[in-house]
Amino acid sequence: MPNMEVAQSTLKEPEKELFSWVAPARPFKKRNREFYITLLAIAAVVGIVLFLVEGFMPVLLIISLIFLFYIMNTVPPENVEYKITNKGINVAGNKTDWSLINRYWFARRFDSELLVMETQSLPGRLEIVIEPKGTFSFYYRRKGISFVS
């Protein structure tokens, strides 16, 4: 029963911001022309094979995936606000409670440092971009993230 009292007391506690920062919504790397030519050549060969085996629908899927990949790699991400509170994490206004986070780790992708958290809700993973030379990274790399339990 003591756990119920602790849980109820944390529900009554007002939300308090522990840390916030603004960073890009996702890691981003601008690609050169040679990369896209190689990608189109590979997609064309796979598309021809799939067209001969299955028809037009798999080729249409490959074309749409290539278009999505091109757009994601040419349009830079917008900057969003990240907030860590005593109740959870807010990313661009979307809140994830601490009770839904299982484990976490740091990763690096395209010169961006990420805090990756495994969640119990969909999509199953929350990736937060942190600046490698920012205050957040310096402080919490040294001390560990003690507020994730």
3-state secondary structure the chain: CHHHHHHHHHHHCCCCEEEEEEEECCCCCCCCHHHHHHHHHHHHHHHHHHHHHCCHHHHHHHHHHHHHHHHHHHCCCCEEEEEEECCEEEECCEEEEHHHEEEEEEEEECCEEEEEEEECCCCCEEEEEECCCCHHHHHHHHHCCCCCC
The widest CA-to-CA distance across the chain, in whole angstroms, is 67
**How much is the pLDDT for 138?**
46
Q: How many residues does the chain have?
A: 149
**How much is the pLDDT for 10?**
56
Instruction: State the number of CA atoms in the 13 A half-sphere of 41 facing the CB.
Output: 6
**How much is the pLDDT for 58?**
87
pLDDT > 70? residue 20: yes
**How much is the pLDDT for 87?**
82
Q: What does the block give as tokens for 106?
A: 């740091």
Q: What is the mean pLDDT of residues 104-116?
A: 80
pLDDT > 60? residue 72: yes
Whether 24 contacts 91, CB under 8 Å: no
Distance CA 104, CA 96 (A): 14
Task: Name the residue ranges covered by the structural domains of the chain.
Answer: 33-74, 87-144
**How much is the pLDDT for 147?**
39
Q: What does the block give as tokens for 81?
A: 């606000």
pTM for this prediction: 0.63
**How much is the pLDDT for 1?**
46
pLDDT > 80? residue 55: yes
